Structure 1
Amino acid sequence: MTGPVLAIDQGTSGTKALVICPERGVIGSGSAPVRPRYGAGGAVEADPAELLGSVLDAGGQAVEEAGEPVAAVGLANQGETVLAWDPGTGRPLTDAVVWQDRRAADLCAGLAAHEEELRQLTGLPLDPYFAAPKMAWIRRELTREGVVTTSDSWLVHQLTGAFVTDAATAGRTQLLDLHDVGWSPAALEIFGLSDERLPALVDCAGPVGTTTRFGGEIPLTGLVVDQQAALLAQNALEPGNAKCTYGTGAFLLAQTGSRPRTSSSGLVSCVAWRLGGRTDYCLDGQVYTAASAVRWLTDLGVISGAADLDPVGSSVPGTGGVTFVPALAGLAAPWWRGDLRGSVTGLGLDTTAGHLVRALCEGIAAQVVALADAAAADLGAPLTALRVDGGLTRSTLLMQTQADLLQRPVEVSALPDLTALGAGAVARLGLDPHLPLREAVPEWKPCAVYEPRIGPDEAAARLDGFRAAVDTLLERP
């Protein structure tokens, strides 16, 4: 049995770290905020020093609280966030361009003729959400110097000196050949990145170097992208297993096994993880704004924070005819219209904060239903249930709304911080390659199960209202 591991989840709005013991569970934790900056033209940036500082602060807190040394480190990352940096010194040459950033939209429009080729090669639609358009935009607009990579490669270099990325994170770039799990010369050429020095591709579990940042010489043995880390920690190890994480955005992933499954319903096909040289794949759908939409309502003064969702939303019995399409950073899967913006319709003099909160919850839940329906169409069978995690699962109103509109049970994970737990699982596997996968991941158990409280006709009517509002947005020139 291996000793405790330090699992770090470097996310959009903060970093969470856990020290996880195989016998005793979580014995230390830490967290540190990150403050993305929002600007004109869809700009979303973060200070790289703040990203690294949050990793060191949160990790240091967790190790200190545990009060004992750790045997290995695992790191989960944001996926599509990129920056340019000097590989000789490690010095950042740009700010980190966050996954929500839309400034590569014009670049994508100029590459539209290659969209189907890219989808066949990489499993991903041509959209500024993914890393390659941002990398190409940085090269055109900001700097030609150094290397340009996803944020994990820079963080790993800062920690260990290695220049690597894992297969699951590479699958979020639109530069990875989905079938042979190697960098695609054709995709690199399309984006004008053929001359770039790219990080070595490694399995999600296995030693990539050592760090002294958390006391002593500690091997870094686990690397994985955030949503796939949560899928792993949700025990979604069989084809058809699905989960949704409600964080800054909402992300639904469904495991598809050892072969990539091309979506015909607008989802993304990508690497779930590569362990021991064996690749598992998943279907992936995104809602760009979930907690970030709650923060938007908070910034407007409608509510004082996410904790207000239930008390304010429960002050009224329904939406009062208000429909909220919370596409505040565009519509992702299955529509892929990042140019669109959100809408609130049906307002009246009697509209209250409660109606807006309920309409927001319904808008988030309806988008997740669209993702679940798309996954079911691609898998050839409906999802039997949906396992969920993330901060917004604390809202009874949102989770009940989700079950009502989905017409399936919604099972809330009993364990918080699943992305960090997934990073811990791959770190343990990297430390002990003979450990069975099922022994590395947490035992699955829900802390709550929400059953639908309305019938299918009412659910369909409410979804039709939301889809009509989306159709109105889609029809705009």
Structure 2
Amino acid sequence: MTGPVLAVDQGTSGTKALVVCPERGVIGTGSAPVHPRYGPGGRVEVDPAVLLSSVIDAGRQALAEAGEPVAAVGLANQGETVLAWDPATGRPLTDAIVWQDRRTEALCAELAPHAEDLRQLTGLPLDPYFAAPKMAWIRRELTRDGVVTTSDAWLIHRLTGAFVTDAATAGRTQLLDLDRVAWSPRALDIFGLADEQLPEVVAADAPVGITTAFGHSGSPGGSGGPGIPLTGLLVDQQAALFAQSVTEPGAAKCTYGTGAFLLAQTGPRPRRTKSGLVSCVAWRLGGHTSYCLDGQVYTAASAVRWLTDLGVISGAADLDPVGSAVPDSGGVTFVPALAGLAAPWWRGDLRGSLTGLGLDTGPGQLVRALCEGIAAQVVALTDAVAADLGAPLTTLRVDGGLTRSALLMQTQADLLQLPVEVSALPDATALGVAAVARLGIDPGLTAEQVLPPWKPAAVYEPRISATAAAERLGRFRAEVAALLDRTPPGAP
């Protein structure tokens, strides 16, 4: 079996890197922060130079800690973050517009007559969340020069000189023909991007090129070989899906990070959703494409940060001690739609609500209400998956930073009325792309051989009755319905 690989997960708020050995596990780690800028009109931007430096810094830290060379590099990316850049020099021409950015609401409203056509072509609803509206906005408002792509294509170009993106990331643009796994001329025309030079769509395990950005052969001193092959590419949530061994139809995972992201494997054919989910590429490996259903909660850890900024808690570590100090939410209902509601509602224009407040409401009730609000949105996603698959899920595998909160995980199991299995892999996205990179350097390996056996670190079983869960969900759904009634689509 091949030696260690370097896996880099370039995320919204930071970049994490791991050196992963097939026999010894993680032997080196590194991290570097990324600080998006938030502006009026739902704007979220980041300096592309910070993205690149975070990748290099985190990777070099991990390699220095491991103290030995690696056989390959894998790179996971944010998905829908885009920028314009000069393909001759690699110089950014704009800031990167982050996936959370909502500035393209008006552009999406203008293209609304094409929404169903786009959904059938690409599997995605017309929404600012995806890359194509941001790409079109850059072309209209900022620059016609260079190329405009998702952030991974730029990072890969800076690392290796190649101009590629993996099939799963391309599937997040709303420009990929879901059935052919190729750029859609019709979708490009709808967004006014028909003349664009787009990266080649490659498999997740395709050998992409050689990078010396981390030192030759990944040696900490920067010498000892011609460079490291970049052989693994995958968008972040699909990498986590792969790491959790969700490779067969009917299983699902949810990652609790900045947002919460639920993916359910559907197999070798795309399944057009009727329940408000996204149908997209899970990965393309060894010449075969797998598909998944995808649902999003825009604010999870970002809602915890919001409570922290208000001084209600001092950070995510406070969720359990503060929330456990009270028996329940005290009648408080929190719809944490601080950046809008994603699947299955697709109402990014909505904002959150806190109801049922009283003079006796304290930090504990607010924390419990937030946990219930996040968990209730995930339940809405699992209900949509069950409707599309024609069968209920039997369990939910979860990962991400917020899974450290026993209160949130227990709340999730209670409202879901199913076991919640917490991953023993704290960095599932990086481990998933490490596995893909290993497939890229040794095509004779199978997915089962490169993935660790699934062993949850904890399993949360429901502790309340189905009737009690239905009552709590009913209160949440009533508040969502009230929000929808107060703000009709397209209202100013």
What interval of TM-score do these two structures reach, taking the shorter chain for normalisation?
A: over 0.9
Q: Check if 1:413 corresponds to 2:427.
A: no
Instruction: Identify the match of residue 251 of structure 1 among 243, 246, 261.
Output: 261
Matches within 5 A, 1:240-389: 240-389=250-399
2: distance between equivalents of 1:354 and 1:53?
39
Say whether the 8 Å CA contact 1:270–1:283 is kept in structure 2. yes
Matches within 5 A, 1:4-403: 4-216=4-216, 217-403=227-413
Deviation for aligned residue 1:423: 0.7
The amino acid across from 2:211 in the alignment is T
2: distance between equivalents of 1:289 and 1:280?
27
Deviation for aligned residue 1:130: 0.2
The amino acid across from 1:136 in the alignment is A
For 1:404, the equivalent position in structure 2 comes to: 414
Tell me the alpha carbon deviations over residues 181-216 of structure 1, each in whole angstroms, 9 at most, x when there is no partner.
Answer: 000000000000001000001000021000001121
The amino acid across from 2:164 in the alignment is V
TM-score by length of 1: 1.00
For 1:438, the equivalent position in structure 2 comes to: 448
Tell me the alpha carbon deviations over residues 11-57 of structure 1, each in whole angstroms, 9 at most, x when there is no partner.
Answer: 00000000001111111010111001110000001111111111001
1: distance between equivalents of 2:355 and 2:37?
28
1: distance between equivalents of 2:236 and 2:212?
24
2: distance between equivalents of 1:371 and 1:463?
13
Say whether the 8 Å CA contact 1:252–1:371 is kept in structure 2. yes
Say whether the 8 Å CA contact 1:10–1:76 is kept in structure 2. yes
2: distance between equivalents of 1:102 and 1:441?
36
SS in 2 for 1:446: coil
Say whether the 8 Å CA contact 1:69–1:215 is kept in structure 2. no
SS in 1 for 2:119: helix
SS in 2 for 1:9: strand
Deviation for aligned residue 1:228: 0.1
Tell me the alpha carbon deviations over residues 383-413 of structure 1, each in whole angstroms, 9 at most, x when there is no partner.
Answer: 1000000000000000000000000000000
SS in 1 for 2:231: strand
SS in 1 for 2:106: helix
2: distance between equivalents of 1:291 and 1:4?
31
Deviation for aligned residue 1:286: 0.1
1: distance between equivalents of 2:332 and 2:369?
6
SS in 2 for 1:195: coil
Q: Deviation above 3 Å: which 4+ runs of structure 1? A: none
Deviation for aligned residue 1:440: 1.1
SS in 2 for 1:206: coil
2: distance between equivalents of 1:349 and 1:356?
13
Say whether the 8 Å CA contact 1:152–1:165 is kept in structure 2. yes
Deviation for aligned residue 1:476: 1.5
Matches within 5 A, 1:442-461: 442-461=452-471
Deviation for aligned residue 1:315: 1.1
2: distance between equivalents of 1:434 and 1:203?
16
The amino acid across from 2:389 in the alignment is L
Deviation for aligned residue 1:142: 1.1
Instruction: Identify the match of residue 471 of structure 1 among 478, 481, 484.
Output: 481
Q: Which runs of 5+ in 2 are unaligned?
A: 217-226, 488-492
Deviation for aligned residue 1:277: 1.5
Q: Which runs of 5+ in 1 are unaligned?
A: none
Say whether the 8 Å CA contact 1:325–1:360 is kept in structure 2. yes
TM-score by length of 2: 0.97
2: distance between equivalents of 1:294 and 1:450?
21
Deviation for aligned residue 1:274: 0.2
SS in 2 for 1:207: coil
The amino acid across from 1:166 in the alignment is D
2: distance between equivalents of 1:58 and 1:458?
45
The amino acid across from 2:31 in the alignment is S
2: distance between equivalents of 1:132 and 1:417?
29
2: distance between equivalents of 1:57 and 1:444?
31
The amino acid across from 1:45 in the alignment is E
2: distance between equivalents of 1:329 and 1:138?
21
2: distance between equivalents of 1:234 and 1:317?
33
2: distance between equivalents of 1:262 and 1:215?
44
Deviation for aligned residue 1:221: 0.1
SS in 1 for 2:207: strand
Deviation for aligned residue 1:72: 0.3
1: distance between equivalents of 2:455 and 2:479?
37
2: distance between equivalents of 1:359 and 1:298?
15
Say whether the 8 Å CA contact 1:421–1:442 is kept in structure 2. no
The amino acid across from 1:39 in the alignment is G
The amino acid across from 1:34 in the alignment is V
